[in-house]
Structure 1
Amino acid sequence: MSQLGYRLHQMVNDTHRESSFSTRATRSKILNLAAKQLLKHGYRLKDPAGLKTKHINHLVARWQDEGLAAKTIKNRMAALRWIAEKIGKPNICSRSNDDYGIPRVRNNPIGKSKTLDMDKHAKIKSDLIKFSLRLQQEFGLRKEECMKFSLSYALINANTLQIKGSWAKGGKYRKIPILKESQQQLIRDIAAVTKGALIEPDKNYKSQMEQYDRETIRVGLNKNHGLRHHYARERYLELTGWKCPADGGPHRRELSPTDYEQDTKVREQISQELGHERLKITYAYLGS
């Protein structure tokens, strides 16, 4: 690791330790790559404070020349903007990806929704990983959240779960309603085994994540973000009474003024339940 890479790693994981473990890991990986690529080009920076606009422009041009997907470059730009803000030089990065000629990413939700294949689910050896997968489906939790999930904290009452900020992407605390018998049954099943985090006693979060990945790949249950999409679509149907566009329902532009207003309120609620803030993020889950 270069000296610049080491300092960037420190800023992500020590000096400005924020967001979830997975977010920090991804951010650190991107910034370490950027440091290596700058050094390879001859930029011998020793400290992040030395970053300038020319360095950002070089990285973007390199990534575009490599033919990387727009979504990949967009994610890398988010890491660069984060570090630019932390060193007090936000203007070294343009606020808009359009200024770099990075195409806008169009989210297509079709095909992303999935439900658990319970035959494959039964082949998983760890009860805690089984619970984690069910939490993803029943409450739309992210992978990290469903491992750090601790019933002793999460269960406010019979009708509400709370997700601690330290479990969540962006550190966003939120509440999720408990409405269905399948959700209540899951809570009963977890309570019968543990009220602590869904991490094996001999493991930490990182090693539990590795076991989750191995087990789900082994039985063919990997790529489970679609379980969050399923949760979002089910909630939309429950709250509006009609299917979302991704499931063949009407597009927002086709709704009456009254239904459009309801659609907006429902999308805002679902966005919050998923741990997001913006209505537009629901386009990736529900369609538009």
Structure 2
Amino acid sequence: MRSERTNPDARNFGLQSRDMGKAGLNALKEGMESFQSIATIHDRWNVFCTWIKSEQGIKDMRDVEKIHLVAYAAHLNDRYERGEIAPSTAQNYLSAVNRVIEIARGDRQVRVEPVAEGGLPKRSGIAIGERSVSEESHNVAMGAVSERLGALLELQRNFGLRFEESAKLDAAKALREAEKTGSVSIKDGTKGGRARIVPITNDAQFSVLQRAAAIQDGRSMIPAEQSYREFRQEAYREIGRQPVNFHGERHHYAQTRYRALLGADCPVKAGVKHGREHYEYLAKEFGVSVAHAKMLDKEIRSEVALELGHGRIDITNSYLG
């Protein structure tokens, strides 16, 4: 109902408020009838408004782009992995933003599908489809992105790092540590300040660290002349044009490590359901009882969770199935 507005080209698409939160409420009143639904979605919209103002410096709906919603999805994913919100809550928060932006703009050009594009977990928290970045997609992205962003993708893929961890990594220091101890300490940018150790298990990891160290021009992978926030905005804008996402590289690490540690595939790779069906698959692979297969699965999931920086085994469900 854009025609009801005095000036659709004005701040916040002419929704009669200079405040994004209130403008969003006015949009919902335009496009919806249920007062209860309006109130619920508006509450979720306000969460987004607070985040995008603080993290992206945006105060006008006209400046919101798809790359910002991708970044918000990553933020919601982090909150889910920290145990702050349920999978359904993460999806609802992003869906609310999609709805408000759709009404405000009068089109569906700026939206991110929660699971397919945003990489958010299924409502059950258990991955069903493949969400890791394939070798083909990774190589396509590597041939198109800047050298520095390519280094970040490689760090995420080979060490299971979150975006912030890869950006704040001192690659030169990590390389020296890897050569000396056979592992890398991940400290900067971790959630909750929880440091962890990622083992060096192949030559590719050394090569990745060497390339990253050669690019590094400060104390981290962030350009010396940029702040972390500036670099993050630039990186998300660039990755938005590629067939990959940062979290998908981390999924690849988790699935690859599960296979390396156990010698058999996780549910999403094996094409079987989480739980009994997967335990039966493992039992057949190894010639052991289902109970023993279940124990092996739990043991390996615990290690993968630690290497990803999590204390909860159940978080691996969204990576492994």
Same fold (TM over 0.5): yes
**Partner in structure 2 of residue 7 of structure 1:** none
- 1:197 and 1:244, CA in 2 relative to 1: closer, same or farther beyond 3 A? same
1:286 matched to 2:320: yes
Q: Percent identity between the aligned chains?
A: 30
**Partner in structure 1 of residue 168 of structure 2:** 148
1:208 matched to 2:208: no
Residues 151-199 of structure 1: CA deviation (Å, up to 9, x unaligned): 24434232101111x4112221000011112111111212333373111
**Partner in structure 2 of residue 270 of structure 1:** 304
Aligned-pair CA distance for 1:108: 2.4
Gaps of 5+ in 1: 3-28, 35-68, 77-102
CA distance in 1: counterparts of 2:168 and 2:201, whole angstroms: 22
RMSD: 3.0
Aligned-pair CA distance for 1:32: 6.9
The answer as to whether partners of 2:196 and 2:309 remain within 8 angstroms in 1 is yes
Partner AA of 1:234 in structure 2: T
The answer as to whether partners of 1:236 and 1:267 remain within 8 angstroms in 2 is yes
* TM-score scaled by length of structure 2: 0.55
- 1:209 and 1:221, CA in 2 relative to 1: closer, same or farther beyond 3 A? farther
Q: SS state of the match for residue 131, structure 2?
A: coil
**Partner in structure 1 of residue 214 of structure 2:** 192
CA distance in 1: counterparts of 2:92 and 2:214, whole angstroms: 43
Q: SS state of the match for residue 246, structure 2?
A: coil
Residues 202-240 of structure 1: CA deviation (Å, up to 9, x unaligned): 21101110111121123x144231111111111111111
**Which of 118, 126, 133 is the aligned partner of 1:107?**
126
**Partner in structure 2 of residue 72 of structure 1:** 90
1:40-119 alignment runs, 5 A limit: 70-72=88-90, 105-115=124-134, 116-119=137-140
Q: SS state of the match for residue 107, structure 1?
A: coil
Equivalences, count:
199
**Partner in structure 2 of residue 241 of structure 1:** 263
**Partner in structure 1 of residue 201 of structure 2:** 179
Gaps of 5+ in 2: 1-17, 20-45, 52-86, 95-121, 284-289
- 1:245 and 1:132, CA in 2 relative to 1: closer, same or farther beyond 3 A? same
1:259 matched to 2:280: no
Partner AA of 1:107 in structure 2: I
The answer as to whether partners of 2:169 and 2:221 remain within 8 angstroms in 1 is yes
Partner AA of 1:154 in structure 2: A
The answer as to whether partners of 1:213 and 1:222 remain within 8 angstroms in 2 is no
**Partner in structure 1 of residue 8 of structure 2:** none
CA distance in 1: counterparts of 2:132 and 2:244, whole angstroms: 13
**Partner in structure 2 of residue 100 of structure 1:** none
Partner AA of 1:228 in structure 2: R
CA distance in 2: counterparts of 1:111 and 1:214, whole angstroms: 24
